[in-house]
A and B are shown apart, each in its own frame.
Chain A
Amino acid sequence: NAGVTQTPKFRVLKTGQSMTLLCAQDMNHEYMYWYRQDPGMGLRLIHYSVGEGTTAKGEVPDGYNVSRLKKQNFLLGLESAAPSQTSVYFCASSSPASGQGAHGYTFGSGTRLTVV
């Protein structure tokens, strides 16, 4: 059981380039989330989705867009990358029926993005 898979694991972008980070989960979870983590800091919520076709802003949404066209996938897009977006990005999924207890999260292993 793969759980939550993030691709790519590493990426280097030049300022102004665009890219899409993919998060895929195979647990049939309704809710999915994108976080970023800067060095020495906790995770900050970028965007989240409570179901297919729905998305909402989190704590730090500026500079990012998301889409949830299929229940199992949640895409995070950077239209014009900036050095301030250098970070580690984590995806997570959740469901009231998850085995981790009421509404527990399963996290992916992260995508390390560097913008130069």
Chain B
Amino acid sequence: DAKTTQPPSMDCAEGRAANLPCNHSTISGNEYVYWYRQIHSQGPQYIIHGLKNNETNEMASLIITEDRKSSTLILPHATLRDTAVYYCIVRSARMDSSYKLIFGSGTRLLVRP
């Protein structure tokens, strides 16, 4: 599975958009980009995933560049409850990969009042 690179920490003001970048320059054609977050010591929570196209759900938007070498997770109106560690993960869609998620260090997002 491709390796990802994320900034170790970021902050943003409450109510503003939080834009979290992720580099995955070695991504291959059959690999998805997944985003999870971990609030304090809880289990990670699924946010969104995508292959080529931009995706949006009730939690966030995912923007994937045309060459797929990087992506950005957007939280449109960050709240204090969005303070968490955000993990960008690239994972194979192949059946023999067992759909394993390999976590990196993530980005620690602090939302300021």
Structural contact, B103 and A42, CB atoms closer than 8 A: yes
Majority SS at the chain B contact face: loop
Q: Tell me which of B32, B43, B45, B100 contacts A110 (CB under 8 A).
A: B43
Interface residues of B in 85-113 (CB under 8 A from A): 87, 91, 93, 98-106
Distance A50 CA – B97 CA, assembled complex (angstroms)? 10
Inter-subunit contact A43/B49 (CB<8 Å): no
B100 touches A42 (CB 8 A): no
User: How many residue pairs, one in A and one in B, have C-beta atoms under 8 Å apart?
Assistant: 60
In terms of DSSP, what is the predominant structure of the interface of chain A?
A: strand
Whether A43 and B99, one on each chain, are in contact in the complex, defined by CB atoms closer than 8 angstroms, is: no
Q: Report the separation of the CA atoms of residues A42 and B102 in the bound assembly, to the nearest whole angstrom.
A: 9
With a CB–CB cut-off of 8 A, which chain A residues contact B36?
Answer: 105
Closest to A41 in B: B105
Q: How large is the interface on B (under 10, 10 to 19, 20 to 34, 35 or more residues)?
A: 20 to 34
Contact between chains at A100 and B98 (CB < 8 Å): no
The interface size of chain A toward B, counting residues with CB under 8 Å, comes to 31
CB contacts (< 8 Å) of B105 on chain A: these are: 41-42
A102 in contact with B43 (CB, 8 Å): no
Docked pose: A44 CA to B44 CA in angstroms: 12
Closest residue to B51 on the A side, CB-wise? A102
Q: In the assembly, what is the distance between CA of A101 and CA of B50, in Å?
A: 10
Chain B residues packing against A (C-beta within 8 Å) = 32, 34, 36, 41-46, 49, 87, 91, 93, 98-106
Apart from the given pairs A42-B105, A101-B49, 18 other A-B contacts in the complex at a CB distance below 8 Å: A4-B43, A31-B99, A42-B87, A42-B106, A43-B44, A45-B101, A50-B98, A56-B98, A92-B44, A102-B49, A103-B32, A103-B99, A104-B49, A105-B44, A109-B42, A109-B43, A110-B42, A110-B43
